[in-house]
Each structure stands twice: as C-alpha cells, then as structure tokens.
Amino acid sequence: MPSFDTVCEADLVEVKNAVENTTKEISTRFDFKGTSAAIELKDKEITLIGDADFQLTQIEDVLTNKLTKRGVDVKFLDKGDVQKIGGDKVKQVIKVRNGIESDAAKKIQKAIKDSKMKVQAAIQGDAVRVTGAKRDDLQAAMALIRKEMSDLPLSFNNFRD
C-alpha cells in the first residue's frame, strides 16, 4: 500500500552553520564593536544576547538572512519573549521547531478525512503517515496538506509505492 510521512523537521546542520556565520558577522561588524552582542546554539534553542532590544532585532535579521541563504525556512523558528538579564543586557530565546504538534497533526488528519479522499491519515509520534491505494490520491493529499497547513514548514518523506 503506497504511503508517505508528513514531517516538520529543520536541517539542524544548516541551522548550526547559519548560527556560526552570524557569530562571525557580529564579531566583524562595526556597530557591534564593544557591545555584548552574541548568539549561541544549544540543542534546539538559539539564544540572542545584546545591550538593547534594537540590537536583538539586528542580530535576528542577520540570522534570518543566513538561514534563508542556507535554505532553512524561518517558519521553523519560535521566538520567545525578550528578557532582562544582569545589568542593562537583554536576551531572547528562539526555539527551532522539530516535529508536528498534536494539535496540528489532528488538524491535518481532520482535513484529510473531511476531503473524502480515498486515503487514511494516522498520527505516529511527531509525524503523520498518509496511506492510500493509488499514488495519485497521495499526491492530491500532499497538495491538500500544503494548502491547509500553509503556516507550517511541512515536508514529505518516506514515500513508498
């Protein structure tokens, strides 16, 4: 039975490279000289540190540009609130999404069920497996999922015929 998996996974190697390139640019830019501007990646969290909110937005812009150049969709980033840390410094934590949340998975499953296509969707952990009798039905299901869930950076893998 043909099937495919709907997943939401960022390429963490490219994210790491983008963070390293951002660090290099921050260290060479004139407007960041003598400031506490920094960026670091731990697990799936990117931490931005700066002297003011304005500096954080500049670092975030540089990071966004680097991610886009490396082919990573910025929809993978979940921005946290700006927090004050010691002195006049501020920090912001940005989480890198990995996996489909249960609410979104249920939404995908409901959209497929409501479309009356001859395919079934099953939630498997942080992915949604779609199975059907024909390859054309699966391709139609992919198009439907892309249209319904345009706010999530979904990809399709593990296509079996």
Q: What is the pLDDT of residues 85-107, one digit of tens each?
A: 888 899 999 999 888 888 888 99
| pLDDT of amino acid 16 | 93
Q: What percent of the chain lies above the pLDDT cut of 70?
A: 100
In this prediction, residue 43 has a pLDDT band, given cuts at 50, 70 and 90, of confident
| pLDDT of amino acid 154 | 86
Task: Show the CA angle centred on residue 129, arms to residues 126 and 131, nearest 5°.
Answer: 175
| pLDDT of amino acid 62 | 93
Give yes or no for residue 31 having a pLDDT over 90: no
Per-residue model confidence as pLDDT tens digits over 63-77: 999 999 998 888 888
In this prediction, residue 21 has a pLDDT band, given cuts at 50, 70 and 90, of very high
Domains of the chain in start order, with CATH, are 3-8+99-160 (3.30.70.860), 12-96 (3.30.70.990)
Per-residue model confidence as pLDDT tens digits over 138-152: 889 999 999 888 888
Average pLDDT on 24-29 reads 91
Burial of 140 (0-12, 13-18, 19+ CB in 10 A): middle
Closest CA to 127 of 157, 160, 151: 157
d(CA 48, CA 31) in angstroms, rounded, equals 16
Number of H helices, E strands in the chain: 4, 8
| pLDDT of amino acid 93 | 93
What the block records as the tokens of 129 is 């497996």
| pLDDT of amino acid 2 | 87
Query: Helix, strand or coil for residue 161?
Result: coil
What pTM was estimated for this model as a whole? Answer: 0.80
d(CA 37, CA 79) in angstroms, rounded, equals 17
Per-residue model confidence as pLDDT tens digits over 101-127: 888 889 989 998 888 888 998 998 888
